[in-house]
Copies of this chain bind each other. A is one copy, B any other.
Amino acid sequence: MPPFKQFVPILDWGRRYNRESLASDGLAAVIVTIMLIPQSLAYAMLAGLPPQVGLYASMLPLVAYALFGTSTTLSVGPVAVVSLMTASAIGQFADAGTAAYIQAAVLLAFMSGGMLLLFGLLRMGFLANFLSHPVIAGFITASGIIIAVSQLRHVLGVQGGGDNLVHLLDSLAGSVETLHIPTLVVGSLTLLFLFWIRSGLKPLLMRLGMNDYWAAMLTRTGPVIAVVATSYAAWALDLGSHGVALVGAVPSGLPSLQLPSIIPGELSQLAVSALLISIIGFVESVSVGHTLAARRRQRINPDQELIGLGAANMASAFSGGYPVTGGFARSIVNFDAGAATPAAGAFTAFGIAIVALFFTPSLAYLPQATLAATIIVAVLSLVDFSILRRTWNYGFSDFTAVAITILVTLGLGVEIGVACGVLVSLALHLYKTSRPHMAVVGEVPGTGHFRNVERHKVITRSDILSLRVDESLYFANANFVESHIYSLLDKQPEVRHVILLCTAVNEIDLSALEALESVNRQLADRGITLHLSEVKGPVMDVLRQTHFLDDLSGKVFLSQHAAVAHVSELEDAGHGPAPHNWEI
């Protein structure tokens, strides 16, 4: 593909677009639009933004993703975790709902979009791989709890706030006497209804003879029914004048296009948050995209996804929105509804535009408690502590990384939580590689294969130490490996040859080379010869550029078997160390 076309996938799939695709995409767009309206309003509220900002973030970004994204089914827009992160980032220096707050949200979308585009152009999609699956799972679970608890105040009708579980619970407990009964009634009825829809409606519909597809689709309209019913109740019973918080007047019309106002001080304050939002948004989006693409035997291109999401966030910033990404729930709906190409997203944007133009007056009576209830039900489905059990059974590092991610996210907030998760999992990995497993090996009789003496019945000789190092040799483990060799020799003083089996040594860096040179010298002082076996091609290439192979007291063998055979023969014949040269 020519360089330009590569960055604009629509030029590829657009040429194959036909009436059939149009029908599939159109139907999917109608269904997603209906679902997206309450979601956009709710997540805007979660982010501390006025409801129309949620609608704005659900229009142009979808068109931008349709032009540049590679997933056929990913639905981009406001999502729960990114909305929470937005609130947490901006809340530090502006009050929710003020003009400065909205401006900062737009700037955040702009910065996040810029970073994603930059990473995409630099082909840095691989960065997302440094977030391990367990860390993501733990982070999403902990974020889900924080989000659910943060919305409880709207259901209870009390004041409160906070960035982490401790502050949130504290503030709820402190304001419990201000409980507002009418709000509580609306909120808890909506909650009960939505939980029943989730768990009871689909089985009921299927028992009534509805097929699986339509039962699932109808079940997903739950939030829309709740919105319509509670809005009607609020209008009919005049709940607003009884103190139930309503969404209120939502400005109608399309967003005006504008350049984000860039304030240098805010740029540096928001930089880390924008980076974390970009990474989390990208990872969430790519994992949804991967999962759905695999079901259709398609693939997505992570580097191009960066560009698609970057363009979407830029579009959000230029149209008064806030950071967006590919959401799990709505993408599933889009997928199930049969979206065939990214155009479905653009059609959805059109649907939202219609709502923004003509239906905002009917949103004025919508109780905030209803939106909070839809958020709580949506995010509780993200909460899944089974990752703790699974990692506990699997291994120390994975468990520790997840446990720390969950605890820190709950206790100190989302930004520190995800940063800790990444750092802890990398630190644990580095710690493990800094103390590699090393096995003394011997030959499994008659096979030519060498295995750990502690696990297998193998043949060894007291004058040969065959040692397998199960790790690349680099600065973090070079001293450890060197000391381990000396301590093995202390225990087995009759050794005359040390043979390092290098099957697992994928790299030898300069620090490790210096350690090997030191081992070679110190062994030579004691009259012990150092050999290597099964050195990989790329490692051998590097060693050949140095003096190490010339200075090595022993040889390099193609196999451990050949090494042991050669050395044994020499020793049994009473010869000294092998003459200097090496084979490969």
Of all chain B residues, the one with the shortest Cβ separation from A507 is B432
Interface residues on A, range: 35 or more
Q: Does A390 contact B (CB under 8 A)?
A: yes
A471 within 8 A of B: yes
Min CB distance A481 to B, Å, is 10
Chain B minimum-CB-distance residue to A521: B294
With both chains docked as a complex, state the minimum distance between the C-beta of A490 and any C-beta of chain B, in angstroms.
10
Closest to A546 in B: B394
A13 contacts B by Cβ under 8 Å: no
Residue of A133, A439, A513 most packed against chain B (CB within 10 A):
A133
Q: Let me know if B390 and A474 touch, CB within 8 A.
A: no
B294 near A476 with CB under 8 A, answer no
In the complex, the count of this chain's copies comes to 2
Contact B133 A514, beta carbon cutoff 8 Å: yes
A449 and B558 contacting across the interface, CB-CB below 8 Å: yes
Whether A538 sits at the interface, judged by CB under 8 Å, is yes
Given the contacts A132-B475, A437-B538, A470 and B506 also touching, CB distance less than 8 Å: yes
Contact A506 B437 (CB under 8 A): yes
Q: Residues of B contacting A398 with CB < 8 Å? A: 509-511
Complex Cα gap A299–B439 (Å): 24
Q: Is the CB of B133 within 8 A of A475?
A: yes
On whether the beta carbons of A504 and B503 are closer than 8 Å, the reply is yes
A167 within 8 A of B: no
The answer to the question of A134 belonging to the interface, with a C-beta cut-off of 8 Å to chain B, is yes
Residue A435 interfacial (CB < 8 Å): yes
Contact B132 A511 (CB under 8 A): yes
Residues of B within 8 A of A506 (CB): 436-437, 470-471, 504
What is the bound-complex CA distance between A522 and B290, given in angstroms? 13
- Answer whether A390 and B131 are a contact pair too, CB < 8 Å, given A126-B435, A126-B480, A522-B294: no
Determine if A426 and B430 form an interchain contact, defined as CB atoms under 8 angstroms apart.
yes
A residues at B contact (CB < 8 Å):
126, 129-135, 294, 299, 390-391, 393-395, 397-398, 425-426, 429-430, 432-437, 439, 447-449, 451-452, 455, 470-472, 474-480, 486, 503-507, 509-511, 513-514, 518, 522, 536-538, 542, 545-546, 558-559
- Beyond A299-B486, A504-B506, list 4 extra A-B contacts (CB 8 Å): A126-B435, A130-B434, A398-B509, A433-B472
* 9 A-B pairs in the complex with CB atoms less than 8 angstroms apart: A129-B479, A132-B475, A132-B476, A135-B475, A425-B475, A426-B476, A449-B558, A449-B559, A451-B537
Name the 3 nearest CB pairs between A and B, nearest first. A132-B475, A503-B503, A133-B511
